[in-house]
Structure 1
């Protein structure tokens, strides 16, 4: 039975507190109270809640909602990462994906207030404002869905997968999620100089911790993924052999522990050697991937360069190695590809480069 009592608020006005208690097998399983401005509203709330508690299904639904109170999706994401990472360690990209999801606006809302519209707004912003690719957003979609799907069996937190499944048609119709497509974009004449000039001006006038010009020059000459370049350390640089250890290179089966010794070729080596060293930072390019990606997109927009992605620089560098006469197996040693079929999509050799 519900109890409704009058109470005096801090400003002296009269309010009404409704309390609903539910026992099962003599044990109190629910004790919920709420305060209202009128007795009628208190009675309506109590009547509605008591109606929900008439059968086991209703009781379970109310208890599930109560378990969400005070928790946010960010809390669940952190639990998910902590639990599953200890069973099968995540690679850096996956950890970063979960980090971005946990920092999203929708992840800060109480779970019982979270809606599909909140999640859709976040995906839309990533696609429109940050220019995230459909393939990247598909990774966020898949990881978020897994968090929702495993929350109840793993942590006893009832979350509906419908929160993400309901927006899938909209995401697909708006080309916000999808498989990656093969690209053949390389730097066009003049684009390298234009971007380099923009980055040098940025570095000289605005950058404090992110020096983009040297990283840009390096990525055009070394076909590494951005995350790989940002993990190279001074302590694992062999100055005699001109090699660097690349930790946790991407691999279809398991990237964790897939460490490879890679030669730093040509001018890329000189770029590294000219960089200043920091006593409190071992990484050669100690930058956040997201910060670099955002700045690169900003530079392209400012310079009027269209349809150029940061990852296209890996294509550019790979093609340059082939144009310089390196064999397939030699290029694969640098890029980390296991077969020619995998390497082929990153290769766009210009016809004029075949003239010797």
Structure 2
């Protein structure tokens, strides 16, 4: 395996999937080579992935929810039969949780009295304890208990319901993940520190966390004397 072979694979994959996906795939393969070299004693020599340039990702978004967006979503939600959409949207904004984390959240991992929701398995492979706002506690307390999960809905069904919702609201550019951006930006606007926001969001790399943060210049201007 040579860096040239890996580069050819990279270029081939970039014709099929996005750069972010290719970066994750290459990072996984690079890690496998490191484990084989360092822990299994396989005589690989230098990891060939270290001599290959990773594809650049220029997909940062600055999508924030405006008052008009909220109004459009609310009107569309009033016409939706998917009962779980409204509370999931609100919880995403209140907690910064990803869609998969909300769908996987179980009642046994929610401590209402302590205002903590525990995510035993997250995207980075680590568990995370998410502090809950008073509004988040109110939303969770009002949910019907229909099983072990807060939201007994399949990811595919939720995805279809979300697509119908944003289409009905004429917000085709809005992704559910944008709600996580909105939540993180609001946490900073509340005055939380970088470590505090990282605790909530689960980011281990502060530089990545800042990519999710889009504070409005207008809000900062109001704080200036």
Q: Normalising by structure 2, what TM-score?
A: 0.70
Matches of 2:109 and 2:218, distance apart in 1: 38
Over 3 Å counting, the alpha-carbon distance change for 1:215 and 1:188 in structure 2 is same
Q: Please list every run of 5 or more consecutive structure 2 residues that lacks an aligned counterpart in the other structure.
A: 1-15, 30-55
1:135 Cα deviation after fit: 6.0
Q: 1:188 aligns with which of 66, 84, 104?
A: 66
Over 3 Å counting, the alpha-carbon distance change for 1:241 and 1:135 in structure 2 is farther
Residue aligning to 2:139:
271
Over 3 Å counting, the alpha-carbon distance change for 1:179 and 1:292 in structure 2 is farther
2:181/2:212 contact within 8 Å kept: yes
SS of aligned partner of 1:277: coil
Q: 1:236 aligns with which of 89, 109, 133?
A: 109
Matches of 2:172 and 2:154, distance apart in 1: 24
1:228/1:249 contact within 8 Å kept: yes
Over 3 Å counting, the alpha-carbon distance change for 1:242 and 1:351 in structure 2 is same
Off by >6 Å, runs of 4+ in structure 1: none
Matches of 1:310 and 1:294, distance apart in 2: 12
SS of aligned partner of 1:344: helix
Matches of 1:300 and 1:233, distance apart in 2: 27
Q: Normalising by structure 1, what TM-score?
A: 0.46
Residue aligning to 1:220:
93
1:245/1:259 contact within 8 Å kept: yes
2:120/2:127 contact within 8 Å kept: yes
Residue aligning to 1:315:
181
1:179 Cα deviation after fit: 4.9
SS of aligned partner of 1:262: strand
| Structure with more contact order per residue of length (Cα contacts < 8 Å, sep ≥ 6) | 2
Coordinate RMSD, CA, aligned: 2.8
Residue aligning to 1:199:
77
1:316 Cα deviation after fit: 0.6
Q: Please list every run of 5 or more consecutive structure 1 residues that lacks an aligned counterpart in the other structure.
A: 1-122, 124-132, 147-177
1:293/1:310 contact within 8 Å kept: no
